[in-house]
Structure 1
Amino acid sequence: MYFSAGFVLGQACLFDRKNATQTQSYGPEARGGACHSDVVISDDDIDYPNIIKPDILVVMSQDAYNKYVNDLKKGGILIIDSKLVEQRISDPTIKIYEMPLTETAEKNLGNSIVANVVMLGALIAVTNIVSTESLKKSIVKRWPRFVELNFRAFQKGMDLEKDYI
């Protein structure tokens, strides 16, 4: 489901009239396994659809952290799920946000499946990469049967930013 969050973010970019590409990969597990989603966002044309050195990296598992943290650009933004990831990066140019994304989904919404939407709320609050309105519009299109739950998850993520910067 985490790669669905990448799709939702990419679609929100289009609603904001930005250019975006989104790619994803995931392990053989149907649910709960490793997954990875890249979203390239630009006001200009995108010449290459893949990310080489991300400006922003969100990690929600220790495996993802271990695999991708060294790819983050100098001066980048790192958002980690603080209850699932032990970060050890010492680069002073990287802005690190440690937030209990999955725990927030479980404790406040009763289900870890919406942790990805909590993450989107935190990401938007920290970066303003897309408008809240466009992200909500994309949520409605992606999960029409679960709009209320996902809007609550998104807001919980937005609220986390206030407590964890």
Structure 2
Amino acid sequence: MNTTDSTVATQQEIIITGFGGQGIILAGRIIGMAASLGDNRESTLTQAYGPESRGGACNAQVIISDRPIHYPYVKTPHILVAMSQAGYDKFTDLLTADAILLTDQDLVPKTAAPCPHYAISATRMAEGLGNKMMANIIMIGFFTAITGAVSKQAAQDMVLQSVPKGTEEKNTNAFNKGYDYGVSTLKGKEKRAAGKTGAIAS
């Protein structure tokens, strides 16, 4: 279902980037808390804002590890989540061939990454649910399904603990929408890969 359920790397370095008002820092906090409180691993979170808190560039850097983390800043991201073109442009040079790139495809139309790339229309899907501010929660669901960096249960639990009271059901729906899209994306990729090797796709 995801790429790393049983073979999670000892340490994963993650950058989530976008602009102020998208809930980028909250997304990083949820993922870090899911790793530490839900999955009983080590995690750190550092954050950076541009000159304006709303509309300016921002990023959250999360490190997840099975061992104590001695340096909390990401040097070479294993996972880059880009929810703005400017954020993608800033960090894409750090990506290596074995990294994973996740983007909001409507906000990051231009990509040329050297690694596997998975896209979701998170903001458009959130607007369809009635609140584009839930795009970050949709992206967390997508991230969880594609990368397996945190477990689904831990991520769901931290979403519920982190969103405003009274919005739990809507945010759970948003998370599940992103997660399900991620699962179907991986299945589609597997079918295409099977087709390339001569298997008959169903």
Q: TM-score, normalised by structure 2?
A: 0.75
Q: Alignment length, in residue pairs?
A: 162
Structure 2 residue ranges without an equivalent (≥5): 1-22, 187-202
Secondary structure of the corresponding residue to residue 164 of structure 1: helix
Structure 1: distance between partners of 2:111 and 2:161: 37
Q: Which residue of 1 aligns with 2:28?
A: 6
CA contact (8 A) 1:26 1:34 kept: yes
Q: Which residue of 1 aligns with 2:122?
A: 101
Identity of aligned residues (%): 38
Choose the corresponding residue for 1:43, options 59, 62, 66. Answer: 66
Q: Which runs of 4+ in 1 moved over 4 A?
A: none
Aligned-residue offset at 1:46: 1.0
CA contact (8 A) 2:82 2:104 kept: yes
Q: C-alpha root-mean-square deviation of aligned residues, in Å?
A: 1.5
CA contact (8 A) 2:35 2:43 kept: yes
Superposed counterparts of 1:30-109, under 5 Å: 30-89=53-112, 91=114, 94-107=115-128, 109=129
More helix by share: 1
Structure 2: distance between partners of 1:90 and 1:64: 13
Tell which structure's C-alpha radius of gyration is larger: 2
Q: Given the superposition, is the C-alpha separation of residues 3 and 67 from structure 1 closer, same or farther in structure 2, using an over 3 Å criterion? A: same
Superposed counterparts of 1:102-141, under 5 Å: 102-107=123-128, 109-141=129-161
Structure 1 residue ranges without an equivalent (≥5): none
CA contact (8 A) 1:99 1:164 kept: no
Aligned amino acid, residue 146 of structure 2? V
